[in-house]
Amino acid sequence: MEYARGGPLSRALAGRRVPPHVLVDWAVQVARGMNYLHDEAVVPIIHRDLKSINVLILEQLSDEALERCTLKITDFGLAREWHQTTKMSAAGTYAWMAPEVIRLSLFSKSSDVWSFGVLLWELLTGEVPYREIDALAVAYGVAMNKLTLPIPSTCPEPFARLLQECWDPDPHARPPFGAIVARLEAIERSAMLAMPVASFHSLQDDWRREIQSMFDDLRTKEKELRSREEELVRAAREQKTQEEELRRRARELAARELAVVERELHLLMHQLHLEAPRIKRRKGHFRRGRLRLRDGGRISLPSGMHMLP
């Protein structure tokens, strides 16, 4: 592919004042590119890693040439052919990943729509998603449908509604890119973008402060949760130690009881050995003459018995 002199879109948004109509034009270009991948390409493709750093600007950046910039969607190393809904190996960056992707590694066209919503949020606010917030905390919050990027209270209603729809927890409820392109083009034609650039940038500054405050709250909650988690881990470790101590004592007690039983058995056997059975002797004298019969003969052996040689 050709060399993109403007670098990644994320770099263009960092510290640069971009007019609102240019931001919307860039959003339209990305949406058209994704619509091509999903519905117009010979083989439909799921990108799986759509984010601002993977969108390059073809021309050299300058404040005068922003309106003529051409955006290119790149980095297809994780892209896969689309077969409706596909379970694949985990891929992407948590801040841009849909809940079903983090939770189940379940990819579809709708998971790219979620990522586009995050990219649109970047364009509007100029902020980094979940700045300085632990990635695993973000992954858990998004996966459990408890966390989405904050939409500024003064964000224009068409953008706010589009962001909410892109981040719908139900993947089937998210709009396809064809509908997204149509809505962004309608915004381009509306009078909403006719506001002075200075007014829009002032509005962006308010959004950043509001978002920063929300992120600060998230970081505070994250620290509290981490502290509680450490306490739970410590308590679990202590409980495990106590359980091991109880098991050790139980083993010692069982060994002692077994030793006592063995000693008792030895004593009992020793006593049985010492106390040999005493046979009562017959009183008086036994006379051999009594073995003789009256007729003078002796008592014969039992019948059928024969002497062995």
Residue bearing tokens 């990644």: 8
d(CA 288, CA 170): 113
Residue bearing tokens 């063995």: 262
Residue 45 · residue 183 · CB < 8 Å: no
Q: Would you state the structure tokens that stand for residue 94, as one six-digit string? A: 């948590």
37, 62, 66, 205, 229 from 6: Cα distances, Å:
23, 9, 10, 24, 44
Return the CA Rg of the chain.
Answer: 44
Q: Which residues contact 163 (CB under 8 A, 6 or more apart)?
A: 117, 120, 121, 149, 151, 155
d(CA 258, CA 239): 28
Measure CA 176 to chain center.
27
d(CA 222, CA 132): 11
180: how many CB neighbours lie within 10 A of its CB?
Answer: 25
Encoded amino acid at 157, one letter: E
Q: Which residues contact 164 (CB under 8 A, 6 or more apart)?
A: 151
Q: Which residues contact 183 (CB under 8 A, 6 or more apart)?
A: 158, 162, 175
Q: b/e for 55-80, b at 16 or more Cβ within 10 A? A: bbbeeeeeeeebeebebbbebeebbb
Confirm whether 49 is a catalytic residue.
Answer: yes
Which entry of 49, 134, 217, 295 is annotated as an active-site residue?
49
Would you name the residues annotated as active-site residues?
49
